[in-house]
Amino acid sequence: MPTGPSEAREDARLLAAVADGDREAFAELYRRHLPWLLVRLGRRCSSPDLVDEVVQDTFVVVWRSARQWDRRGAVAAWIWGIGVRRLVDALRRSRPPADELIEFAGVETSAEEHVLLGVQYGDVGAALAGLSPELRAVVQATVLDGLTTREAARLLGIPPGTVKTRMMRARALLRERLA
């Protein structure tokens, strides 16, 4: 995960090159982001095979959609957004009709898997979807990913004070929409 402004600028440069079809830039972006993406998705899913599949799907989307990055926020945050949405989709596809079947079969699902599915499909998911991308990114980084304000700021490429301000705005909007 990028740790500073120079790495964030390098990621932006690499993604622009990927948008132009540069395979070497894509390989470098993959090398830079693969390790942290594997770890973070692995914390949310108990199946290493499913995590590997999701990571590959994520980078396929990065390759195909590089032109769609709007240059707001960090490339890492954009990649994370793709990855976590792919994980939720994969969990939904792989989930049998009843969670009891999984427990009966001896496979334990993580708490994060249950939360991600609830966030995606419940009232909270609808409220989150209604937030602006900037506010949603801060909520995802701090609440769903459990990052500190400083870590979220680094990931999103914004000052820590901006993270706090956006989180306050997001909380107020979510409170209003969920009331």
**In this predicted structure, what is the pLDDT of residue 1?**
58
**In this predicted structure, what is the pLDDT of residue 54?**
94
Convert 101-112 to b/e letters by CB count within 10 Å (16 or more is b): ebeeeeeebeeb
**In this predicted structure, what is the pLDDT of residue 158?**
84
Could you tell me which CATH number the domain at 1-110 has?
1.10.1740.10
Sequence letter at residue 116:
L
**In this predicted structure, what is the pLDDT of residue 172?**
93
Instruction: Say if CB 158 and CB 73 are below 8 A apart.
Output: yes
**In this predicted structure, what is the pLDDT of residue 128?**
78
Where do the structural domains in the chain lie, given as residue ranges? Answer: 1-110, 122-179
Burial of 161 (C-beta count, 10 Å sphere; 0-12/13-18/19+): exposed
**In this predicted structure, what is the pLDDT of residue 113?**
55
Q: Which fold has domain 122-179?
A: Arc Repressor Mutant, subunit A (1.10.10)
Residue whose C-alpha is closest to residue 49's, from 41, 8, 28: 41
The pTM is what?
Answer: 0.58
Q: pLDDT 10s per residue in the chain (179 long)?
A: 555 677 878 999 999 999 999 999 999 999 999 999 998 888 777 788 999 999 999 999 999 999 988 887 789 888 988 888 888 778 777 655 444 444 444 555 555 555 555 555 567 777 877 888 788 888 888 887 777 888 778 777 789 999 999 999 999 998 898 88
**In this predicted structure, what is the pLDDT of residue 70?**
80
Which token pair is 42? 């692995």
